Structure 1
Amino acid sequence: MASKLTLRILRYNPETDEVPYYAEYAVMVDPTDRVLDALNMVKWYQEGSLTYRRSCAHGICGSDAMRINGVNRLACKVLVRDVGDFVTVEPLMGFRVIKDLVVDMEPFFAQYRSVLPFFINDARPPERERLQTVADRERFDDTTKCILCAACTTSCPSFWANEDFVGPAAIVNAHRFIFDSRDEAAGERLERLNDREGVWRCRTIFNCTEACPREIKITKAIGEVKKAILYGSPRATK
């Protein structure tokens, strides 16, 4: 049965507003509607200038990450029945707000690019594919699930305190290739992360793990990268 939901949204347009402000909108929703559905209803029928990112609406693209009742979530995965009839929606913390719920993600992607998040192997390709054992594939399976939503990085107090910290998401994507038995650039990635603003900035607070919409064991992955640096080889941490 449909009921009234009040959205309290932190709004800000740098072209017209001196400071951010909260605006409230009431919509009729079903318990199984998502917060994204409620935002769409506001934008489509009440306030067309409301700005936020969205794309697939299935928890795959990661574009609609935002703070919902103070917690980093994907708006397309949070059901109305799980948040009550009054919901506060705010942009992710730690990034410059472009407008309303849209933040500047370029610093995030710059840190992501810094860890070489792609397969590197200059050896002559085999006649067919580069084979792996089941165990080798399972070694990095968890960190392949990252959708680059930035929910983990923007939930991290170390990132809030220092924007130069490479951040959990970048380390997760480095982990995915560091522990890939077919890749040959693990040493270079570990060297890049063995830095004051690299993996050692992590204080093992677990906010990142709790914020991840894909349930990646992020803190565990960061710990494995630390061990690989200490042991001098990712193979030594198996």
Structure 2
Amino acid sequence: MSTATEDKHSAALDAAESGATQHVTFRLRIRRFNPEQAAEPVWVDYELSMDPKEKLLDALHKVKWEIDGTLTFRRSCAHGICGSDAMRINGKNRLACKTLIKDVLGKPKNGVYKPITVEPIKGLTVLKDLVVDMDPFFQAFRDVMPFLVAKGNEPTRERKQSIEDRARFDDTTKCILCAACTSSCPVFWNDGQYFGPAAIVNAHRFIFDSRDDAGEQRLEILNEKDGVWRCRTTFNCTDACPRGIQVTQAIQEVKRALITRRI
């Protein structure tokens, strides 16, 4: 039989689903790291009372603004566009601004919820708390030439493209460079030299663009030892993408283009 406390928490979640406002109390367990104070990270718990329909980013703001101003994390638009607040929430890569508290809270046991865990994305050096060094990630992005290369004279009008040609690479235009896919990849965890899914996705976007003339050059870049052949097809990247990009499929299409040399 449910206890009164469990009924109260269940009612709170039911209220969240229905649109009513009712707070629940839970713990936010954050992996904290300050290199100026300690050599190893530590887990710190914060007790919060919030509307479960709020975003996890709101919970982080509450900790920083009301409890501990030293907490450090990245965020900008708060609407899933900038990609700056990617982090591991309950062990999975997510955007804090797109994750509702109620979706990661789980069911209470004896009236108590398990803590929601938050830690930095893996595979990149942690600078402080939830902030990682993104330089290697962006270097891989730059290395695949993520821009249109068109030869010949400057056109007198826009370069037109058919609907079918545009659809060929439509999915990979959605990337917001949050690094959620790359930092979910076991190969990248073990070897930071691997280009990673995000770089390959952004190469795909231009390799299959009918207006571009540098597809072969990009394929050669991705044919190197740290390129596309390092992918082990675990689908972690596809599962982690907050934009729903079929990352693994894009990687396989690049592999196929390398084998057939048909773009």
- Map Cα deviations across residues 134-159 of structure 1 (whole Å, 9 max, x no partner): 00000000000000000000000111
3-state SS of paired residue (2:219)? helix
Which residue is 2:247 aligned to?
218
- Map Cα deviations across residues 29-49 of structure 1 (whole Å, 9 max, x no partner): 112100000000000000000
Which residue is 2:101 aligned to?
80
Which residue is 2:108 aligned to?
none
Which of 131, 143, 165 matches 1:102? 131
Contact 1:187 1:233 (C-alpha < 8 Å) held by counterparts: no
- Map Cα deviations across residues 7-40 of structure 1 (whole Å, 9 max, x no partner): 0000000011121000000111112100000000
Which of 119, 133, 136 matches 1:90? 119
Which of 26, 32, 51 matches 1:5? 26
- Shift in Å at residue 80 of structure 1? 0.7
Distance in 2 of aligned mates of 1:91 and 1:63: 12
After the TM superposition, list the runs of 4 or more consecutive aligned residues in structure 1 that deviate by more than 6 angstroms. Answer: none
More divergent stretch after superposition (69-78 vs 118-127)? 118-127
- Shift in Å at residue 176 of structure 1? 0.2
Which of 37, 41, 44 matches 1:16? 37
Which structure: larger Rg?
A: 2
The percentage of counterpart residues that share the same residue type is 60
* Alignment TM-score, normalising by the size of structure 2: 0.88
Which of 191, 199, 218 matches 1:189? 218
- Shift in Å at residue 197 of structure 1? 1.0
Which of 80, 87, 104 matches 1:66? 87
Say whether 1:159 aligns with 2:188: yes
Distance in 2 of aligned mates of 1:30 and 1:124: 58
Which residue is 2:11 aligned to?
none
For structure 1, the residue ranges without an aligned partner over 5 or more in a row are none
Which residue is 1:39 aligned to?
60
Which residue is 2:10 aligned to?
none
Which residue is 2:76 aligned to?
55
Say whether 1:178 aligns with 2:219: no
> After the TM superposition, which residues 118-137 of structure 1 pair with which residues of structure 2 at under 5 Å, given as runs?
118-137=147-166
3-state SS of paired residue (1:28)? strand
- Shift in Å at residue 190 of structure 1? 0.2
Distance in 2 of aligned mates of 1:96 and 1:156: 15
Report how many aligned residue pairs link the two structures. 234
- Shift in Å at residue 233 of structure 1? 2.4
Distance in 2 of aligned mates of 1:164 and 1:18: 25
Which of 169, 174, 178 matches 1:140? 169
Distance in 1 of aligned mates of 2:205 and 2:27: 41
Say whether 1:232 aligns with 2:261: yes
Say whether 1:208 aligns with 2:237: yes
- Map Cα deviations across residues 61-114 of structure 1 (whole Å, 9 max, x no partner): 000000000000000000011111420000000111110000000000011111
- Shift in Å at residue 122 of structure 1? 2.5
For structure 2, the residue ranges without an aligned partner over 5 or more in a row are 1-21, 106-112
- Which amino acid is the alignment partner of residue 90 of structure 2? N
- Name the Cα RMSD after superposition: 0.8
